[in-house]
């Protein structure tokens, strides 16, 4: 592995999803605004990756880029997204449709808003079920019932005939998960799947996602602003800030040995009785694109602006950090670099 080039990547052969140096711009009246800068990550089949970061850090845009569901003004200006080796950027609408639902599916933040209020649950889950090749209507219907039962909804027949306004938030999210998994997708992208739910329901939904992942072997990308949720449910965690991945590491390692000052700040800001209410600094305006050491204007205990784009450095096995001067950690890991 060559640090600085693979940027936290594993050989493409093993990965289900491989994103390389993804740059995304939005065309605005004030000119282009960079939303993603050199995002690189990999996901193995069946693996779960948490993407954490604050609002505007680019985590949702990364997910939408994979789905090919970017807003109209969004434009991928560089890099690649490969799913099982197939390049997704620049794919035609028809080719993208063949991938959506069948290979990659999405679970949305507010399930009730992601369900059409004037159509039955049945008609919506059937749309997903029938996306699968060579499925008759009756087979698809059976599959929907099975999947609704699998996500823990009692009386699937009744759910099929219901409308979203007749379901609770937790039930609606279970329905969304059933829709995401009914066509046999190998990758589920969950964008803040529990943010709109009560804490007790959150745990149930996260358990369900984990259960399905182990039952079906589905890989999961979980986007969350909650580091705790990511830590408990994901194998690896990527921390995003201002459109870049600043650190990516196995979940436990990230907590034991965070190297990036922003990660340290995030972990330090985790709610605990004595630290309640302490700010980590304000979100910088997205425009203009960040140059170099974008964290200098936050009081994180470090200074010095480097005009160059940050590089990813492997500080330990599978632990990459984007910074000119990573926080000093285990010397052995640093010594292992070229």
Partner 1 sequence: MSNSHSVLAKIGKRFVNSAFVLLVLTVVVFAAMRAIPGDPVETIVGVEAVSEETLAALRKEMGLDQSYVVQYFTWLGNLLQGDMGQSLQNHEPVLPILLDRLKATAELAFLGVLIGAVVGVAAGTIAGMTRGSFFDTLVMFVTLSGISIPVFWFGTILIVVFSVYFDIFPTGGMISYEVSLTHVTGFKLLDSLLTLNGAAFLNVLSHIVLPAITLSTAPAALIARTTRASVLETINEDYVNAALARGLSFPAVVMRHVMRNAMIPVVTILGLEIGVYLGGSIVTETLFSWPGLGRHLMQAILAHDYPVVQGAIIFYAVIIVFINLIVDISYGIIDPRVHA
Which positions lie near partner 1, rule CB under 8 A?
67, 69, 93-94, 97-102, 105-106, 108-110, 113-119, 124, 127-128, 131, 163, 165-166, 176, 179-180, 183
Which C-beta is closer to partner 1: that of 32 or that of 184? Answer: 184
- 143 is written with which tokens? 């599959």
Which has the closest alpha carbon to 247: 335, 179, 315, 177? Answer: 315
The CB-of-210 to partner 1 minimum distance in angstroms stands at: 21
CB 114 to partner 1: min, Å: 4
DSSP string, 187-247: EEEEESTTTTS-HHHHHHHHHHHHHHHHHH--EEEEEES-HHHHHHH-SEEEEEETTEEEE
Residue 145 to residues 14, 254, 261, Cα–Cα distance (Å): 33, 40, 48
Query: For residue 250, what are the β-bridge partners?
Result: 236
Q: Do residues 40 and 21 lie in contact, with contact meaning Cβ atoms separated by under 8 Å?
A: yes
Alpha helix segments (H runs only) across 84-163: 93-99, 121-129, 137-150, 156-161
Which one, 61 or 265, has the nearer CB to partner 1? 61
Q: How far is the CB of 251 from partner 1 (least distance, A)?
A: 27
Q: How far is the CB of 226 from partner 1 (least distance, A)?
A: 20
Question: Are 53 and 240 contacting, i.e. CB atoms less than 8 angstroms apart?
Answer: yes
Q: How far is the CB of 96 from partner 1 (least distance, A)?
A: 9
- Closest to partner 1 by CB, 94 vs 285, is 94
Least Cβ distance, residue 102 to partner 1 (angstroms):
6
Select 131 or 238, whichever has its Cβ closest to partner 1. 131
Residue pair 174/205 in contact by the 8 Å Cβ criterion: yes
Nearest CB to partner 1, comparing residues 110 and 257: 110
Closer of 128 and 315 to partner 1 (Cβ): 128
Is residue 62 a contact partner of residue 245, using CB atoms and an 8 Å limit? no
């Amino acid at each position: 592995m060559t640090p600085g080039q693979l940027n936290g990547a594993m050989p493409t052969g093993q990965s289900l999803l491989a994103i390389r140096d993804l740059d995304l711009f939005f065309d605005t009246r004030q000119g282009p605004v960079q939303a993603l800068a050199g995002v690189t990550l990999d996901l193995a089949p069946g693996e779960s990756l948490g993407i954490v970061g604050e609002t505007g850090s680019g985590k949702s845009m990364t997910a939408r880029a994979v789905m090919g569901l970017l807003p109209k003004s969004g434009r991928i200006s560089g890099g690649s997204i490969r799913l099982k080796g197939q390049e997704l950027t620049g794919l035609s609408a028809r080719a993208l449709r063949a991938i959506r639902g069948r290979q990659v599916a999405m679970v949305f933040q507010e399930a009730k808003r992601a369900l059409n209020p004037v159509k039955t649950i049945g008609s919506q889950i059937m749309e997903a079920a029938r996306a699968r090749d060579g499925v008759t209507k009756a087979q698809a219907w059976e599959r929907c019932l099975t999947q609704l039962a699998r996500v823990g909804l009692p009386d699937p027949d009744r759910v099929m005939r219901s409308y979203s306004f007749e379901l609770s938030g937790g039930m609606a999210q279970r329905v969304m998960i059933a829709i995401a998994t009914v066509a046999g997708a190998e990758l589920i992208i969950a964008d803040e799947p529990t943010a709109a739910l009560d804490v007790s329901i959150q745990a149930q939904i996260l358990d369900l996602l984990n259960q399905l992942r182990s039952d079906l072997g589905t890989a999961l990308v979980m986007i969350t602003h909650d580091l705790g949720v990511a830590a408990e449910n994901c194998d690896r965690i990527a921390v995003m800030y201002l459109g870049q991945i600043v650190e990516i590491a196995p979940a436990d390692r990230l907590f034991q040995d965070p190297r990036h000052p922003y990660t340290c700040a995030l972990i330090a800001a985790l709610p605990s009785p004595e630290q309640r209410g302490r700010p980590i600094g304000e979100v910088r305006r997205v425009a203009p694109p960040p140059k170099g050491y974008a964290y200098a204007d936050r009081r994180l205990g470090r200074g010095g602006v480097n005009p160059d784009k940050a590089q990813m450095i492997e500080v330990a096995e599978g632990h990459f950090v984007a910074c000119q001067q990573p926080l000093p950690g285990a010397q052995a890991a640093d010594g292992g670099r070229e």
